[in-house]
Structure 1
């Protein structure tokens, strides 16, 4: 979860959402042919279950109908990509070992995610084109994972959603240095229209969970831009790993054992992971039985745990959750993603209008996963 946002590609698509394209990935044509390639990957919002994926726990994200489109004309061994008004990327393929060793120095910064995906694919054929996105950058909606997976598909990746997710996770680690779990990439690769995904990150197994017609999902920005490379994400992961060394895998750890951890910080981190996994299971059951009231209560409890036990919230997120929870049309709200800024996700009655609550708000719908549309 919580990969670093791709800070270089901006929201220039303005509604150019190709989510409704053909869901059949087609074979890449022979090297050197001038065919146009179009690939699309959604972003994701996590409904519940944060900072549990890298602990081998449960998460419940959903791919959303905002995403990243990569279009280019194939040919040659040079990849040239433009992204809005940002500095263009020029990259020789295959990516040289010297570049791979120093991705953190590659400019433009958004090109690090492209280069990492190209390395993982082993791409040797380039082209000339552009990247557009309808995703807000720095909001915690996985713009970097969306970019990585769209680029990988455009460059010829051909495999299962899980294989694509693993590729994207490796690319994220290389490009950002953030030791993220697999949630973001797997939600984006395996998304299903009208459903969230219940993912067991220990086994990497997942199953769709229907989003009932009695709720809508809103994402609201706190006004605080989030960048995980500058946050305490790695410290939080290290703390959970230290706690697991004391009591075993946190997702299944005995609560009494957790409460006996001598270090109060490690105790709180472990308590969040264990209790959050329980909340994910109960939330999935609430959606399956069309019980949005219980789902909303679980979201509120999740936010409190992230705020108090995991300490990844900020005042702007807390205030936004309070404001949303006070509205009668809202079942519940919580920070989404890794925290340290970014967005709140809210479950609301159909027809609600939450656009005036946060600095920016999006009504999102569950989307199919990443795919190559042409090429």
Structure 2
């Protein structure tokens, strides 16, 4: 079930809940420490009478999500929230930072949140928010039970010092616990029969807007979101909006952007535009119009330049697309689309498009240039975007 808000993460009002946070690899496998976290979650939930839940951070590709979820359900039966985000394929520090940005507003937080080592930065922040204080135990090396109490042993000063603390749930604040890679956890105990798994898939909208200085990082996140190693392997549409203004604006930002993409080796590239661009500004022929009175599109990447986002335009962009939206208005409908629906995924870039789009063009030129293919010793040229009807633009 696809959801806009992960209701399964809400804490149980009667017994409290325990949330285990795991991440899958880009190939769809659980991390080596996942079994330890699940075992610790099971042990703590049984000892404290809590309901276990899992938040599984996975890449956006559905096939990878199925692999990771299948592996999880071999070990766990209960409520699962599948957090679909490019963070799952990012380095640990990026993954942890994006977890903070994705963390939802909950009516009632879980009493315990326990995670793999990569969650350390996120938990340190989430557990120390002034408006939502909590207790934090990081790099727990050993978890044990003594006389009815749960003891957490953590390492300090690169493992040279140890600290022991009692898991105290008397105060009504959540605990945020990360396990070290070599954490020692008591063996599993027989658990009561579970009622089966329920799964919610959640692709949250990140609150961050990107700016000119963020373009290089945005390209890396674009690769993660689309699942391509090289941007040259993706199919692109440049979606031109009324914001380019006139022919001079088109030549200043769109033509250099097209040239940079082709120099990068992108072969599946088409330029389309809004109704105003084709019918009023006459910058593109009518058969390049995207929207209700034009065509539907569903590329891997859509670069929306100066598009405000009227429904008769946005509704004809398919869910497969990852959209980089360049607009000076952060409240424009295209910039806030993911507040209303999870797909297509939009990365909003706020600022003057005559500054932000050239920044994108410059970043693309820094990417490794793919050598042109040769067929029979002759260099194969890319077909011009204006020669023939592009397959990516089809009548809806």
> Which TM-score tier does this pair reach, normalised by the shorter chain?
under 0.3
Ranked by relative contact order (alpha carbons within 8 Å, sequence separation 6 or more), the top structure is 1
Q: In proportion to residue count, which structure has more helix?
A: 1
TM-score when normalising by structure 2: 0.23
Please tell me whether Structure 1 or Structure 2 has the larger radius of gyration of its CA atoms: 2
TM-score when normalising by structure 1: 0.24
Q: In proportion to residue count, which structure has more strand?
A: 2
